[in-house]
Structure 1
């Protein structure tokens, strides 16, 4: 079982609380680090050792947008293969297309209804933290 950290990038305190609650409810035991803006997210990712198992990335962020965070992570040799799930309220076609063009592994729109939001985040946490096989140590973490 992979017990590496999860980085949640979320500027909305309510969505942060709901996401953390949903992950706990799904019994995801990984430590979850929270970045509340794009600048903080990049610092957290580039200083992580080892790299997290997944980043849950909102797009609409202060300081540096989620799309720019994604662009910079993919441009860095050490972090380019890191799993990134865009978790956002945006259903704009251009955001979906740009996210995938920049290398997002998944694009999940946050459901408005609490129970659907909780279920979506629970499933994400279980898949990316427990089921998905991460790259072997050293492959993207020299």
Structure 2
């Protein structure tokens, strides 16, 4: 049975945010999306630990705190480090990919140019994470083990 996910979507481009929401609507997904414009704001959301997402989808190139800086902070937190983080970016730079996997990401997706390809990648990603086994932490929120 597929779960409804709580997704923290970190993206500074409003058009990209709208595209992601449009894809969810197109696919009839009822996932809850918490949006953040950059890594700094996302850390502020996560620090209060009232909202613990099931997965985090984020861009790399953002103001204030970029994706790699955000991931480093995330993976150094004892509770938050278990949240699967998936990169969704235009960068196919091998150095970026290596650095992100070294930090401990769950996946790396390069944004395709064609909208249909974007829809397919988002669909496959969310289908996987909505059937992946998650555990309940002490805050009664789902996180990856």
TM-score by length of 2: 0.88
**Native 8 Å contact 1:84 1:104 kept in 2:** yes
1:24 aligns with 2:25: yes
What secondary structure sits across from 2:50 in the alignment? coil
Between stretches 60-69 and 116-125, larger displacement belongs to 116-125
Q: Deviations for 1:33-82, whole angstroms, at most 9, x for unmatched residues?
A: 11011111111222243511100011001100100100000000010111
Q: For residues 125 and 66 of structure 1, what CA distance do their matches in structure 2 show?
A: 20
Relative CO higher for 1 or 2, CA cutoff 8 Å, sep ≥ 6?
Answer: 1
Structure 2 unpaired stretches of 5+: none
What does residue 87 of structure 1 align with? 88
Structure 1 residue 27 displacement after superposition: 2.4
Q: Which runs of 4+ in 1 moved over 3 A?
A: 1-4
TM-score (norm. length: structure 1): 0.90
Counterparts in 2 of 1:50-61, with a 5 A limit? 50-61=51-62
Inter-partner Cα distance in structure 2 for 1:137 and 1:77: 12
Residues 93-123 of structure 1: CA distance to partner in whole angstroms, max 9, x if unpaired? 0000000000001011110111111221122
- SS at structure 2 position matched to 1:8: strand
The alignment partner of 1:2 has SS state of: coil
Offset of residue 8 of structure 1: 0.4
- Residue 98 of structure 2: aligned partner: 97
CA distance in 1, matches of 2:13, 2:49: 23
Partner of 1:125 in structure 2?
A: 126
**What count of residue pairs does the alignment treat as equivalent?**
140
Q: Which moved more, 1:90-99 or 1:113-122?
A: 113-122
CA RMSD of aligned residues (A): 1.8
